[in-house]
Amino acid sequence: MADVFRGMWVVGYRELLRFIQERSRLFSSFAMPLLFLVIFGAGFNRIIGALTPGVNFIQFMYPGIIAMTVLMNSIMSGLSIVWDREFGFLKEILVAPLGRSGIVLGKAAGAATVAIAQGIVMLVLAPFLGVSLSPLLVIKLIPILIIISLSLSGLGILIASRMRSQQGFQVIVQLIIFPLMFLSGVFFPVNNVPAWMAFISKIDPLTYGVDAIRQLFLGKEIAALGGVIGRQASSAIGVTVLGHTMTVLEDVSIVAIFGMVLLSIAIWSFSRQE
C-alpha cells in the first residue's frame, strides 16, 4: 500500500511540473474550448433560444465547454505514458519501488488536478457571458470535475497502455474525443435527437458529466420560469433514461462507476503490457 501512495505522489507531482513547464500545452488546452464557445455561440445563439426557452445558446453551451476542457486534458494525460515509453523514462519508473497501480493513479490524479485548475480558470469568463455564478456553485462544481477527470483519464491511460508511438496515440484519441464530445450534449439537448443518436449519447459517460454541470448552472433559473416554458426548458437540460430524468447525484454516480471500471481496466492493462 505504501508503494501505491508513493507512486501516486511521485507521478502526480511530475505530471503537474510537466504541465506548468510546457506553455504551449497550457495554451492549447484552452484554445479549442474557447474557439467552440466563440464561434458556435455567435453562430447558433438565436437557434438554441427556440429549443431551450429562457436560456440562450451561450448559457446552454457554457457548462458543456467546461466539461470539454476536462475531457481533453484528461484523455491526453495518457500521452505522457507513450512519451515516457518512447524515450526510455518509463523503464526507470518501473524499476523504482513504486506500485504499478500507484503509477496509473498518479497519472490520473495529476490530470485531475490540472483539469480542475483549467475548469476554475474557465469560470472567470462566466460573468462576461451572462452565466450566473456563486461561491456555493463553485464548491459544488469542483468534486464533479474531479470525478469526471479521474474517470476520463482512465480511458486515456487505457489507450496509452496499448500504444507505442505518440502519433498513433494522438490519432486514436482524436477519433474518440470528437464523438464523445459531440454526442454528450455539449451543443444540443440529447433528448431531442433521433433514437439511435439518443441511445449512443446515453452510453457516453461524458453525457452525464455535462448534464450534472448544466443542472448546477441552470437548474435554479429554469425552475424559476415555471409553467409550460419551465417544463420545456427542463426537458432540454435533463438526460432522460427509461423515462426517468437524471438528477445531479445520479449523473455523478454513473460517471463514477464508469471511472472505476476504466481505471481498473487501465491498471490491469498497464501491468500486463509493461
Tens digits of residue pLDDT in 62-76? 888 888 888 887 887
Which set of grid coordinates corresponds to residue 172? 486514436
Q: Is the pLDDT of residue 44 over 70?
A: no
pLDDT: which is higher, 95 or 146 = 146
What pLDDT, in 10s, does the model give residues 122-161? 787 777 777 777 888 888 888 898 888 888 888 888 888 7
CA distance readout (Å), 157 to 66, 85, 104, 270: 21, 13, 7, 8
C-alpha cell, 55: 436560456
Per the structure, how many domains does the chain have? Answer: 1
* Least-confidence region, from 31-45, 241-255, 258-272: 31-45
Least confident of 21-25, 80-84, 103-107, 161-165: 21-25
Q: Which string of DSSP letters, residue by residue, matches 210-260?
A: HHHHHHHHHHHHHHHH-HHHHHHHHHHHSPEETTEEPPHHHHHHHHHHHHH
* Helix (H/G/I), strand (E/B), else coil: 98: coil
Query: Identity (one letter) of the amino acid at 154?
Result: G
CA distance 264 to 101: 9
pLDDT at residue 36 is higher than 60: yes
pLDDT score recorded for residue 203: 87
DSSP category for residue 164: -
Cα 108 to its chain centre, rounded Å, is: 12
The Cα–Cα gap between 84 and 88 comes to: 6
SS3 10: helix
The pLDDT value given to residue 28:
64
Percent of residues, the chain, with pLDDT higher than 90: 2
β-sheet bridge partners, residue 245? 240
Predicted pLDDT of residue 96: 61
Better-predicted residue by pLDDT, 23 or 195: 195
Q: How confident is the model at residue 257 (pLDDT cuts 50, 70, 90)?
A: very high
Is 178 within 8 Å of 99 (Cβ atoms)? Answer: no
Q: Is the pLDDT of residue 225 over 60?
A: no
Q: Check the CA dihedral 148-150-151-154 and report its sign.
A: positive
Mean pLDDT over each residue of the chain, to the nearest integer: 75
pLDDT-derived band of residue 256, with 50, 70 and 90 as boundaries? Answer: very high
Residue-range definition of the domain harbouring residue 170: 2-273
Q: Is the pLDDT of residue 269 over 70?
A: yes
